[in-house]
Structure 1
């Protein structure tokens, strides 16, 4: 989100919180979130793709709700929500013909008849979803598979480029210009994980009693759309359903988080971006000292950028009565890598712990011939961190970054087990405990910072050259 977009969201949120009563507030948050999907979707050089990707976001969310819901899908409120959803899509499409105010999307929407036909097709698919999948288990499995397949396509540069070429050919555009960057789907990583969360919960038998309005607002809540955090559906729904009045306390809390977020993102992170490690300056700098400066700058920049956006999301949410979960808790001050991952991108780590690490290690332990405990821990930590790496993109560097942290977590686990019977921190003098914590924090910070070298650069060769230069072996 740009600074202008954030300021507009804050102003509209304050208006909603001040003017709207509880029911009106809930409907207003839905409308804002739906429109934000179109407004924030980045421009794509493939004709009309920014409009269609926004529509696909709405369709995927609606279809998921049809699969998971346990109540009466055809009740009056859900029908009103579906009508509002279709009406807003048509309204956004009609802006194509209103020259002075066109358009909410990054490029003009497609012709109106095309949008009507697409809506009719989506309605038909929704009807078929309800009729074909007589088995809810099959519907849940198919939905999860579809989301994971889409994720793989979008995160794999080679596949994305091929899809871009196909879409360009379909539109009569030159395929030689095809690029993976053409398929920038706004917030899909976060949207997909919210959808996978409710699908997996439904698979395990947990009831899902959210209305279509509540579910759309949860998945597409505009402050958290582009950079998280990844909230839980039932927790979010509790906040949404509760009566809310904008008080001095909520205004103060939200205001301070917004100020913190603005300072982190637009002052610190954007300033550090000028010298943070990237593909261009990594190839230009020959000094070991300057390479360390670039690497430190990247480590600080990625923290201030990401945590700044989180502060802004939490601040805007608090203005409308939604208490989004915390995502950062001073991660660079933690004394070990395990504590770091309990305080960095907290909601993502919790998601993987709940939906992958715990089931995976449980399955290994309950096997007929279970592996030794250390091997189970190593397998679980490595596999989890590899998946977190691939969540950012299916490239060698993200894979190596995941392995870097997976191995680091296992080493810390073994070291902790080794020290446990030999060293009791509570028995140490306070100065020794602080000294150990400080040494641990410095070691952890540098391990994480060196790991960012894999994260920041596009290929292993470039990263390896930076490592050599950091330790005085480069050119």
Structure 2
């Protein structure tokens, strides 16, 4: 997101917060979120794909809502109205192709309006059939969850994305030879997929509240969090959405403070550090150990300021429209061990994996395989969880190794802390020693995390290993 687009989004949120009250706020958030996901979607060389990708996000949200709605689903009329509003907004976006110099909201011209109308009609028919045949059948929920995961895997794999690009180019009558994994850039899908899976899983466990289509779609595509999170729980989000809200000076000051902090962190600190931060080009060109360490430190700080900056901006915009978003970072580089680091770094993502993968996996292992020692269960759970967190960023060896790096580090810390618990119980009586040990632990944790970023930022294991060797002066 550029600074100009950010200013427009901030202005839009202030208008909604000031003028839209009660149910009007929900309708304004729905329409604004639909418009923004089309507007921010990056361009693509595949014809009309920058229109169809955000449209597909909406379709996935609607079908997931159909599968997760309870027997006592809210008022049918309000749900049909919400579906109609979404369809009208999509048609209006498509109609912008006929506005000449004012075209278009999307990066390229949308498809012909009759194609969009036929598509909406087809989706409506399929949605009606799904609503009739899927009600109360958990098999549909499992099947749709697998479909979303499969789609996620395709988009995170370079080779599979390239095959998908070839198929789309062939369908459009475009050159297949020019296909690239960069052709399909689906804005926000990583976060959309996790919100969809969260609600599907909560429906199976009986924790999902009764939601209208309007509320559900707002949750899935809420424009401040669409591109970079945080991943809010639907229960918390809907509670905020339904509370009466009147924009006040306190909200403006709170939100403005977070937004200014985020802009400074992202556009000043992060973008400034990017000039010297480690990347695939300078990692091969620099031979000085000292300069290489400086580049690693710069990347560690850059990724923090970049990501936390976007989170601050999203939280600040949320204040303007009455949505209190969860925190995502809490001074992670000042933590004394890796466990505390992951309790304060991308907290909503770590919490998602903890709730929907680590806890169910370890519970199953303990109940089904009672002969497995507890340390081995912890090792399997932590290693597999963090390999998946790594692969969430992209399916590659380096992301998997980065995840394994943290999973292994967490297991070592778990065993080490258990071993030292009885030996460090009297540290409170030695405050000076405790302070020194705390400082040393923080320093070790920061460097362990920083070395892990080498695997994260570089494209392949060979270059990562060469860089790590140079960092320790062994080249």
- What does residue 249 of structure 1 align with? 250
> Shift of the alpha carbon at 1:204?
1.0
- What does residue 40 of structure 2 align with? 40
Deviations 1:193-241 (A, max 9, x none): 0110010011112243111111111111100000000000011001100
Q: Which runs of 4+ in 1 moved over 4 A?
A: none
> Which runs of 5 or more residues in structure 2 are unaligned?
none
- What does residue 13 of structure 1 align with? 13
Alpha carbons 1:66, 1:73 under 8 Å: kept = no
> Shift of the alpha carbon at 1:100?
2.3
> Shift of the alpha carbon at 1:2?
1.3
1:55 aligns with 2:87: no
> Shift of the alpha carbon at 1:21?
1.7
- Aligned pairs for 1:15-414 within 5 A: 15-70=15-70, 71-72=72-73, 75-414=76-415
Deviations 1:153-199 (A, max 9, x none): 00111111111111111112112221111111111111100110010
SS at match of 2:100: coil
SS at match of 1:47: coil
Q: Aligned partners of 1:192 and 1:263: how far apart in 2?
A: 30
> Shift of the alpha carbon at 1:429?
2.6
Alpha carbons 1:364, 1:370 under 8 Å: kept = no
Q: Aligned partners of 2:193 and 2:405: how far apart in 1?
A: 25
> Shift of the alpha carbon at 1:426?
5.3
TM-score by length of 2: 0.98
Q: Aligned partners of 1:229 and 1:171: how far apart in 2?
A: 36
SS at match of 1:277: coil
Which shifted more, 202-211 or 314-323? Answer: 202-211
Q: Aligned partners of 1:73 and 1:123: how far apart in 2?
A: 19
Distance 1:252 1:455, change over 3 A: same
Q: Aligned partners of 1:68 and 1:18: how far apart in 2?
A: 33
Alpha carbons 2:258, 2:315 under 8 Å: kept = yes
SS at match of 2:455: helix
Q: Aligned partners of 2:269 and 2:137: how far apart in 1?
A: 49
Distance 1:245 1:368, change over 3 A: same
> Shift of the alpha carbon at 1:135?
4.4
Q: Aligned partners of 1:309 and 1:370: how far apart in 2?
A: 46
Alpha carbons 2:169, 2:176 under 8 Å: kept = yes
Deviations 1:122-148 (A, max 9, x none): 112212212332542011101101110
> Shift of the alpha carbon at 1:369?
3.7
Q: Aligned partners of 2:358 and 2:57: how far apart in 1?
A: 28
Deviations 1:438-464 (A, max 9, x none): 111110000000000000011111111
Q: Aligned partners of 2:354 and 2:251: how far apart in 1?
A: 31
Distance 1:425 1:336, change over 3 A: farther
Q: CA RMSD in A?
A: 1.2
Query: How many residues align structurally?
Result: 474
> Shift of the alpha carbon at 1:285?
1.1
Alpha carbons 1:43, 1:50 under 8 Å: kept = yes
Alpha carbons 1:361, 1:380 under 8 Å: kept = yes
Distance 1:101 1:372, change over 3 A: same
Q: Aligned partners of 1:167 and 1:467: how far apart in 2?
A: 40
Distance 1:428 1:101, change over 3 A: farther
Q: Aligned partners of 1:81 and 1:428: how far apart in 2?
A: 63
Alpha carbons 1:68, 1:208 under 8 Å: kept = no
> Shift of the alpha carbon at 1:291?
1.0
SS at match of 2:203: helix
Q: Aligned partners of 2:370 and 2:258: how far apart in 1?
A: 51
> Which runs of 5 or more residues in structure 1 are unaligned?
none
